[in-house]
Structure 1
Amino acid sequence: MAEHFGMSGVESARSVLAARDSDLAEADAELAEVVTSAHAAAAEAIRKLDAVSAEIEAAVVQRAVAAPSEGREFARFLIAKQHEISDILTTARAEADAKVIVLQQLLDRYRVPSTPQ
């Protein structure tokens, strides 16, 4: 009879370990997706900022501001680029903040559950 209870305990432990293994595998997959998408978002933001930088540099090279109206036009161009940069950074920040929340939730899944004593 004692053997029956012992085997039952082993089977119960195996079941618990299998469930934990499954949960951790799901968490690993979610972590991989979060890291991949965060990297893609950062790379996209950098690409957009590089494009804005190139536009500004090209505009500086091409424009010789001789008249006040040309100066005002160039100022409007630079202000528009400043807004574009701000929008890129705001979007990147929002995406990063969303990833932080997901990572905090994943951290809880990775913690070793306490065992009753």
Structure 2
Amino acid sequence: MAEHAGASADALESARSLLAARDRDLAEADAELAEVVSAAHVVATEAIRKLDAINAQIEAAVARNTVTAPVEGREFARFLLDKQREITDVLIVARAEADAKTRVLQRLLDRYRVSSTPA
């Protein structure tokens, strides 16, 4: 019976060690998740701010624009093309950041999954 109690105590200690290791891993994953979500929020907020600024510039230019000559029309077209490039740049950066965050989240998802086999 003493052998059985010793085996049970060893099994219990082993289970506690595994749970403690899992708890540490999940705490690290939680911290990384919080960092990723926070960074994604910053990127999205910055992209929105930039797009709002571009929108305000375009609206202001349209409101004051009185194209009466071909030169003014070409100048306004260049302005709009520049703004289109700025919008594209903002979206490319935001998409790249989103893709990077998605990869991190996929990796974290694997860490959160419970394994059916002992580690």
Q: TM-score, normalised by structure 2?
A: 0.94
Deviation at 1:114, TM superposition (A): 1.4
- Separation (CA, whole Å) in 1 of partners of 2:115 and 2:35: 24
| Structure 2 residue runs without a partner (length 5+) | none
Counterparts of 1:7-86 in structure 2, within 5 Å, are 7-86=9-88
Deviations 1:57-86 (A, max 9, x none): 011112211111011000000000000000
Q: Determine helix, strand or coil for the equivalent of 2:114.
A: coil
- Separation (CA, whole Å) in 2 of partners of 1:71 and 1:115: 69
Q: Determine helix, strand or coil for the equivalent of 1:66.
A: coil
Identical counterparts, % of pairs: 68
- Separation (CA, whole Å) in 2 of partners of 1:91 and 1:25: 30
- Separation (CA, whole Å) in 1 of partners of 2:39 and 2:117: 35
Q: Which runs of 4+ in 1 moved over 2 A?
A: none
Tell me the matched-pair count. Answer: 116
- Separation (CA, whole Å) in 2 of partners of 1:115 and 1:75: 63
